[in-house]
């Protein structure tokens, strides 16, 4: 078949799928996107956006003592968490509508329905409709992983989906899993008054991030009354009218009991590969994720896979970049890269303080026997951090001692998720800390902490 209905057909409209579809249309490819639920996927509807809308309000709520310090008394008696929930839905809905607008503006056709592969160039949508395309991009994303013995019931044992839909804050919450999502929920629930217990199987919270950096968040969480149990797993659950009783077991085999009203299980996600019709082509998978080669092509030349469906970091910006790379390959545009370099992917955790980082952590560098030079600069050394009452934080840069190349950048503190891009741009363009310090930074800014850390790599920081 050479006369296809479309040049590109995308299944799934999350940040992978919709970005791929818009980019394809920009490149004059006739494009269709098939979505069975709301446009925008997990990110816009039940992930990044509503969670950040809630976090923003949590910060306002938590910061009322600052108003009180100015003599303004705040009466919280009229507060209802439902208004926070509603604002988060409003943000999600408005951005989902925004995606509909962008798709339309770019001439992308949208078909509502469930898509599955019928052949190498055909997609069945529901029972009746079949469309054909020269290239197909699978972008069906992922969903919360269930934990054995703690299966989701939507009442007591919740996934992140249900936790984002809560209209009331539970008095006591047990969170299983202290990755980015678990830590962000610990921050939210604690901010709005829940007693939070955070349990992690690994020996620290945010086990993939740099230890020295995560220690700052751990201290802040502990100070706020969040109970943290690391090297601990939840082994059994008994539900009763009192809530749920959970037995925890630490690495020494010692057990303890926790009673909670809600248990939030955020121990991972599973890719949505079921009923996609992959079996007929023997498309390779790895731990359930669709394996891809250069340009995100699967073992079938006309079929690509991007985003959470593939074994790459489960992040919206990774999904989007993968979509662009795949589409530019389909359009025949020579690309500088055929895959995202994981060492250049920023990770961001939106707690108070915020964390952000990329590249090697100190632990990973040691584990891989990679020699490095380390530079640290504390936020309290910058005028802006002190002026705005945010002195807790630090910037950390890991460098190749020979070439001065940046091999890791990590920040904890206010606005860390914005500041990280200065270091990441330097790394991406092969700049050294000297280049960062050559640029005059405005004063007073938090960016000066990044500049001072870069200076400190050569012992020339001024404010330390």
Output the smallest distance, CB 47 to ligand FAD, in A. Answer: 3
Output the smallest distance, CB 160 to ligand FAD, in A. Answer: 4
Stretch that binds ligand FAD, among 63-71, 111-119, 285-293, 445-453 (CB under 6 A): 111-119
For residue 245, the cross-strand partners are: 238, 259
Output the smallest distance, CB 112 to ligand FAD, in A. Answer: 9
User: Which positions from 379 to 418 touch ligand FAD by CB under 6 A, shown as an x/- string?
Assistant: ----------------------------------------
Strands 243-250 and 255-260: antiparallel
Report in angstroms the alpha-carbon separations of 363 from 2, 374, 393, 424. Answer: 52, 12, 19, 19
Q: Are the C-beta atoms of 218 and 210 separated by less than 8 Å?
A: no
Stretch that binds ligand FAD, among 84-92, 203-211, 277-285, 309-317 (CB under 6 A): 309-317
Stretch that binds ligand FAD, among 254-262, 286-294, 302-310, 450-458 (CB under 6 A): 302-310
Q: Which of 415, 406, 391, 412 is nearest to 437 (CA)?
A: 406
The CA-CA-CA angle for residues 299, 108, 128, to 5°, reads: 70
Stretch that binds ligand FAD, among 42-50, 241-249, 326-334, 381-389 (CB under 6 A): 42-50
Report in angstroms the alpha-carbon separations of 232 from 178, 207, 257. Answer: 11, 13, 12
Output the smallest distance, CB 57 to ligand FAD, in A. Answer: 15
* Closer residue to ligand FAD in complex, CB, 56/317: 317
- Of the candidates 23, 25, 47, 300, which one interacts with ligand FAD according to CB under 6 A? 47
Stretch that binds ligand FAD, among 34-42, 166-174, 255-263, 380-388 (CB under 6 A): 34-42
**Element containing residue 21 per DSSP (H, E):** helix 17-26
* Closer residue to ligand FAD in complex, CB, 32/399: 32
Rounded distance, CA 220 to CA 187, Å?
10
**Element containing residue 268 per DSSP (H, E):** none
- Of the candidates 89, 97, 114, 239, which one interacts with ligand FAD according to CB under 6 A? 114
Report in angstroms the alpha-carbon separations of 401 from 372, 407, 425. Answer: 5, 10, 20
Segment 270 to 289, residues that bind ligand FAD, using CB under 6 A:
272, 276
User: Is 443 annotated in the active site?
Assistant: yes
- Of the candidates 7, 9, 15, 210, which one interacts with ligand FAD according to CB under 6 A? 15
Segment 140 to 199, residues that bind ligand FAD, using CB under 6 A:
140-142, 160, 181
Q: Are the C-beta atoms of 422 and 365 separated by less than 8 Å?
A: no
Q: Which residues lie below 8 Å from residue 129, measured CB to CB, with a gap of 6+? A: 111, 113
- Of the candidates 6, 7, 8, 17, which one interacts with ligand FAD according to CB under 6 A? 17
Stretch that binds ligand FAD, among 35-43, 208-216, 359-367, 453-461 (CB under 6 A): 35-43
Q: Are the C-beta atoms of 285 and 273 separated by less than 8 Å?
A: yes
* Closer residue to ligand FAD in complex, CB, 285/458: 285
* Closer residue to ligand FAD in complex, CB, 306/431: 306
Instruction: Transcribe 143-163 into DSSP letters.
Output: EEPPBTTB---SSSEE-HHHH
Segment 310 to 369, residues that bind ligand FAD, using CB under 6 A:
314-317, 319
* Closer residue to ligand FAD in complex, CB, 120/249: 120
Binding status of residue 217 toward ligand FAD by CB under 6 A: no
- Of the candidates 25, 31, 51, 267, which one interacts with ligand FAD according to CB under 6 A? 51
- Of the candidates 14, 179, 243, 381, which one interacts with ligand FAD according to CB under 6 A? 14
Catalytic residue among 329, 421, 434, 443: 443
Output the smallest distance, CB 316 to ligand FAD, in A. Answer: 4
Other C-beta atoms closer than 10 Å to the C-beta of 143 total 16
Rounded distance, CA 445 to CA 443, Å?
5
Q: Which of 138, 114, 456 is nearest to 302 (CA)?
A: 138
Instruction: Say how many residues touch ligand FAD, by CB under 6 A.
Output: 36
Output the smallest distance, CB 229 to ligand FAD, in A. Answer: 21
* Closer residue to ligand FAD in complex, CB, 206/399: 206
Instruction: Transcribe 273-337 into DSSP letters.
Output: -TTSS-GGGT--EETTEEP--GGGB-SSTTEEE-GGGSSS---HHHHHHHHHHHHHHHTT---S-
Q: Which residues lie below 8 Å from residue 201, measured CB to CB, with a gap of 6+? A: 231, 232, 233
List residues binding ligand FAD (CB under 6 A): 11-17, 34-37, 41-43, 47-48, 51, 114-116, 139-142, 160, 181, 272, 276, 307-309, 314-317, 319
- Known catalytic residues are 443
């Amino acid at each position: 078949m050479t006369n296809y209905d479309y040049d590109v057909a995308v299944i799934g409209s999350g940040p992978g799928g919709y970005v791929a579809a818009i980019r394809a249309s920009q490149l004059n490819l006739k494009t269709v996107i098939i979505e069975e639920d709301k446009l925008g996927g997990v990110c816009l509807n039940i992930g990044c956006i509503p969670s950040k809308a809630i976090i923003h309000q949590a910060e306002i709520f938590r910061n009322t003592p600052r108003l009180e310090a100015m003599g303004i008394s705040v009466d919280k008696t009229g507060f209802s968490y439902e208004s926070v929930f509603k604002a988060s839905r409003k943000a999600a809905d408005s951005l989902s509508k925004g995606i509909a607008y962008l798709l339309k503006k770019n001439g992308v056709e949208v078909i509502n329905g469930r898509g599955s592969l019928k052949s190498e160039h055909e997609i069945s949508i529901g029972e009746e409709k079949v469309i054909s395309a020269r290239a197909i991009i699978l972008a069906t994303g992922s969903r919360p992983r269930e934990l054995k013995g703690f299966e989701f019931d939507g009442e007591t044992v919740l996934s992140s989906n249900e936790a984002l839909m809560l209209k009331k804050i539970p008095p006591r919450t047990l969170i299983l899993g202290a990755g980015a999502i678990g830590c962000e929920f610990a921050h939210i629930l604690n901010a709005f008054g829940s007693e939070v217990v955070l349990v992690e199987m690994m020996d620290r919270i945010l086990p993939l991030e740099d230890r020295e950096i995560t220690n700052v968040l751990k201290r802040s969480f502990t100070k706020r009354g969040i109970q943290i149990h690391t090297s601990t797993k939840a082994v059994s659950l008994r539900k009763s009218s009192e809530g749920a009783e959970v037995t925890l077991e630490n690495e020494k085999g010692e057990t303890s009991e926790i009673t909670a009203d809600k248990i939030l299980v955020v121990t991972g996600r599973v890719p949505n590969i079921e009923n996609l019709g992959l079996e007929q082509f023997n498309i390779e998978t790895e731990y359930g994720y669709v394996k891809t080669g250069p340009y995100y092509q699967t073992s079938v030349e006309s079929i690509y896979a991007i985003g959470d469906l593939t074994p790459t970091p489960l992040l919206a910006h990774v999904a989007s970049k993968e979509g662009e790379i795949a589409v530019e390959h389909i359009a025949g545009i020579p690309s500088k890269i055929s895959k995202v370099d994981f060492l250049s992917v920023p990770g961001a955790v939106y707690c108070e303080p915020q964390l952000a980082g990329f590249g090697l952590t100190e632990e990973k560098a040691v584990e891989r026997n990679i020699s490095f030079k380390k530079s640290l600069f504390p936020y309290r050394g910058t005028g802006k951090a002190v002026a705005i009452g945010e002195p807790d934080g630090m910037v950390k840069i890991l460098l190749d001692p020979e070439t001065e190349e940046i091999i890791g950048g990590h920040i904890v503190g206010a606005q860390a998720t914005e500041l990280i891009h200065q270091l990441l741009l330097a790394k991406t363009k092969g700049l050294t800390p000297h280049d960062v310090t050559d640029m005059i930074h405005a004063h007073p800014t938090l960016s000066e902490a990044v500049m001072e850390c870069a200076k400190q790599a050569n012992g020339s920081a001024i404010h330390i």
